[in-house]
Amino acid sequence: MPGLSRRARTRTRTRARALLAATLLALFGAGLSATPAAAAGKVVYITFDDGPSVYTPQVLKVLSQYRVHATFFEVGQNVASHPALTSQVYRRGNSVQNHTWSHPDLRTLSAAQFAYQVTATDRQIRSHTGYRPCCLRPPYGALNGTVRARAAALGKKIALWTVDPRDWSRPGAAAIRARVLDHVRPGSVVLLHDGGGDRSQTVAALSGILKALKARGYTFATWAR
């Protein structure tokens, strides 16, 4: 910033960071819940989609190792198949939210089908956690005005993401790690997967992601639980 004093440059950067944080929260974070310490500094939201699955315990082990909590957007039929895993995710202090019953494109459904996808998943999650999810992550991020309106009518806030390393495509653990670390910023919502296929690369990348983010001074927060 040529021509500006050091104090003026600092004020400009501070205002820019505040504007970025406010914009991210407005776009993605209507349901975000961070601790006061995290909200005041560099915070990142780690999220996992499509579980629970056989890879979920491995993800939980890494999260515990780094004392990090994450948000798990779970598919209802997978919760029904692995109820103990959903309970374990929640008991360890993570947030469990709604990712529909069978992972359809919500834009293609009737109102009745939409309601079933969300409410059936709510019932499964609540039966194993005692908690009714407040957020809905539409599969594929597929969103339009109808999806927003129907979600709101069911009391759900839409929860998307800002960093997508496309780990589901299995590009390799090193690529997943690099894509996250190259794009993460204060307030970022990182999309990863603990279900829906072979997630061994995601598990392998997770430790390096968390270690590097902590070294950069980031703290971690979750959606409300």
Token couple for 124: 């499964």
- Phi first, then psi: give them for residue 132, nearest 5 degrees: -95, 120
pLDDT of residue 2 exceeding 60, the answer is no
Band of residue 114 on the pLDDT scale cut at 50, 70, 90: very high
Token couple for 146: 């109808």
Q: 168-180, pLDDT tens digit by residue?
A: 999 999 999 999 9
Residue identified by tokens 């005692």 is: 130
* Spatial separation of the C-alpha atoms in residues 45 and 31, rounded to whole Å: 12
Provide the b/e sequence for 4-19 (b: ≥16 CB within 10 Å): eeeeeeeeeeeeeeee
* Spatial separation of the C-alpha atoms in residues 90 and 71, rounded to whole Å: 9
pLDDT value of residue 41: 75
Band of residue 40 on the pLDDT scale cut at 50, 70, 90: low
Residues 6+ apart with CB under 8 A from 14: none
Show the domains of the chain with their CATH numbers.
7-223 (3.20.20.370)
Which burial class, exposed, middle or buried, applies to 89 when counting CB atoms under 10 A from its CB (0-12, 13-18, 19+)?
A: buried
Residues 6+ apart with CB under 8 A from 13: none
pLDDT of residue 36 exceeding 80, the answer is no
**Pick the residue with more confidence: 38 or 220?**
220
pLDDT of residue 32 exceeding 90, the answer is no
pLDDT of residue 153 exceeding 50, the answer is yes
Among 41-45, 94-98, 114-118, 129-133, whose mean pLDDT is lowest? 41-45
pLDDT value of residue 11: 44
pLDDT value of residue 23: 38
Q: 59-93, pLDDT tens digit by residue?
A: 999 999 999 999 999 999 999 999 999 999 999 99
* Residue numbers annotated as active site: 49, 193
Residue identified by tokens 């939980």 is: 60
**Pick the residue with more confidence: 21 or 107?**
107
Strands (E), 24-175: 32-33, 43-49, 71-74, 95-98, 135-136, 157-158
